[in-house]
Copies of this chain bind each other. A is one copy, B any other.
Amino acid sequence: MQQDDLAAIMRALGHPVRLEILRILARKAQNCCCNDITDCLPLAQSTVSQHLKVLLDAGIIERRAKGTRNNYCVRTDRLAAFSVATRDYVGDLGTAAGSCADVLDAVS
C-alpha cells in the first residue's frame, strides 16, 4: 500500500464518530442503513451521511441499494490490508530507528 493511501485511510479513521460508525456497522452487520446508525448517535442524519461518505470515499465501507434503503457494510478486506500496512509502516520505523531515546541518552 502506498504511503498516501495509508495516510488517506488514517485520515478517514481519524475521527471518533467514524470509528464508532464502523463498530455499529460491524455489530449490525447484515442490515444496517443510515437511519439505523443515526439512531445510535447524537447526530443529525445529514451529518451521519457525510461521515459515511468519507468512509465510502476511503474505500473502507461499501454501499448496497436494497429497496428504499441503502445498506452499508464494512470492507473487511480493505481494513485488513490497512492493518497490515500500518504494522509494516510502524515496523519499518522501529527497525530504522532502533531505540532512538536510548541512543540519545548514550550520547549525552
> Interface on A for B, CB 8 Å cutoff?
3-4, 6-8, 10-16, 18-20, 22-23, 25-27, 29-31, 62, 64, 66, 71, 73-76, 79-80, 82-83, 86-87, 89-94, 96-101, 103-104, 107-108
Top 7 nearest A-B pairs by Cβ distance? A11-B14, A73-B100, A10-B14, A26-B96, A26-B97, A30-B103, A26-B93
Contact partner, A104, options B25, B71, B83, B89, Cβ 8 Å: B71
Contact of A3 among B20, B80, B103, B107 (CB under 8 A): B20
How many identical chains are in the complex?
2
| Chain B residue at minimal CB-CB distance from A15 | B7
Give 5 pairs: A residue, B residue, CB < 8 Å, sorted on A: A7-B14, A12-B14, A23-B96, A25-B100, A82-B86
Besides A62-B100, A73-B97, A86-B86, 8 other CB < 8 A contacts? A10-B14, A11-B15, A25-B100, A26-B97, A74-B93, A82-B86, A83-B91, A86-B87
A76 to B104, CA, bound (A): 14
Report the separation of the CA atoms of residues A83 and B31 in the bound assembly, to the nearest whole angstrom. 30
